Amino acid sequence: MVNEVRVLPSTHVDEISKGERFAFGENWKRFLSTLDESRIQQAEDSLRNMLGVNDLSSKHFLDVGSGSGIFSLAARRLGARVHSFDFDPQSVACTAELKRRFFPDDDQWQIQEGSALDNGYLHSLGTFDVVYSWGVLHHTGKMWQALDNVAPLVKPGGQLFIAIYNDVGWRSVAWRGIKACYNQMPRFLKTPFVLCVLIPGQAKAAIQSGFRGQFGEFVRSWTQYEKNRGMSRWHDAVDWIGGYPYEVASAESLEQFYKGRGFRLQKAQTPDYKLGCNELVLIRES
């Protein structure tokens, strides 16, 4: 069955060419070359753990901003009917590639190009048992609008699983500047820029780990990083440094925002490092 593709205006390409948006899909395309069974299983475990389920059989799962497609794939392998969409055409292509590899001609997994800011498109989708959007809505340029837009997509009694960058005051402001700088610079400078940003912090972490007698833990933070949601340390680093637009919110503000929209908090997980994402699973009560 051929997937329906909703064609959007060329704003995505325009924004990237102007340095106003990071090419997430290009990064995820490179990530797919590292994808293996262990990473997929880690993604499945992440969904089971946060959603509090053993599987997703009989569930309808919406992946808002599917990125590489790994969590759409994980949800499908756990038994869900899956609908994936992304604003980035290359991310759509990555998700479609995973479907081709693992679930060819499967009518229980639909993939489209769409935007979390397009209310007409979102309304056309209906409602879902699980709406999943990890590390996406803070990159729309209109985060609070996007957070509001996804609320009606959750069925009463259904779950909303979001992850949003934590608000750490001036440090968040500084990182917004770093990200804007990355996106404005020529392509050939971007990898050296990532290394220049990464190396001082990683060197400090390595030295501190050595003094504590925990250098092995530092090494494992790189060599076993796929245990963190099945992702790649390098591709996550590029995504983090380049990820723009960039907005932030505290876990408390997110919980209050959705409480006013008929949700209650089921589970929250704050980041191990302050600049990471607050992860919230909320249940729609009304």
Average pLDDT over residues 182-186: 91
Residue type, 280: L
Element at 211 (helix H, strand E): helix 187-211
Average pLDDT over residues 147-164: 98
Using CA atoms, how far apart are residues 62 and 158, in angstroms rounded to an integer?
11
Quickly list DSSP for 233-248: HHHHHHHHHH--S---
Indicate whether 193 pLDDT > 70.
Answer: yes
Start-to-end CA distance of the chain, whole Å, equals 35
Q: What is the CB-side half-sphere exposure of residue 280 using CA atoms within 13 A?
A: 24
Q: 85, 114 in Cβ contact below 8 A?
A: yes
Q: 200, 192 in Cβ contact below 8 A?
A: no
Count of Cβ atoms closer than 10 Å to residue 207 Cβ: 12
Determine what percent of the chain is predicted with pLDDT higher than 90: 64
Residue type, 239: D
Using CA atoms, how far apart are residues 190 and 54, in angstroms rounded to an integer?
41
Compute the mean pLDDT over every residue in the chain, rounded to the nearest whole number: 87
> Which pLDDT score, from 0 to 100, does residue 5 have?
46
Using CA atoms, how far apart are residues 284 and 161, in angstroms rounded to an integer?
11
> How confident is the model over 15-57, as pLDDT tens digits?
766 667 777 777 777 778 778 898 899 999 999 999 999 999 9
User: Which residue did the predictor score with more confidence, 32 or 158?
Assistant: 158
> Which pLDDT score, from 0 to 100, does residue 18 have?
66
User: Which residue did the predictor score with more confidence, 274 or 59?
Assistant: 59
Assess if CATH 3.40.1710.10 describes domain 11-167+247-284. no
Average pLDDT over residues 196-209: 78
Confidence category of residue 272, pLDDT binned at 50, 70, 90: confident
> How confident is the model over 222-265, as pLDDT tens digits?
555 544 544 567 777 888 888 899 999 999 999 999 999 999 99
> Which pLDDT score, from 0 to 100, does residue 22 have?
76
Using CA atoms, how far apart are residues 122 and 152, in angstroms rounded to an integer?
9
Using CA atoms, how far apart are residues 134 and 229, in angstroms rounded to an integer?
11
Count of Cβ atoms closer than 10 Å to residue 121 Cβ: 17
> How confident is the model over 97-152, as pLDDT tens digits?
999 999 999 999 999 999 999 999 999 999 999 999 999 999 999 999 999 999 99
> Which pLDDT score, from 0 to 100, does residue 209 have?
76
Contacts of 218 (CB under 8 A, 6+ apart): 205, 206, 209, 210
Q: What is the CB-side half-sphere exposure of residue 224 using CA atoms within 13 A?
A: 7
Q: 138, 108 in Cβ contact below 8 A?
A: no
Residue appearing with tokens 């051929």? 2
Domain extents in the chain: 11-167+247-284, 170-242
Give me the residues paired with residue 229 across strands. none
Indicate whether 219 pLDDT > 90.
Answer: no
| Among 77, 69, 82, residue whose Cα is nearest residue 44 | 77
Average pLDDT over residues 85-99: 93
Handedness of CA 199, 205, 210, 213 (dihedral sign): negative
Contacts of 221 (CB under 8 A, 6+ apart): 205, 233
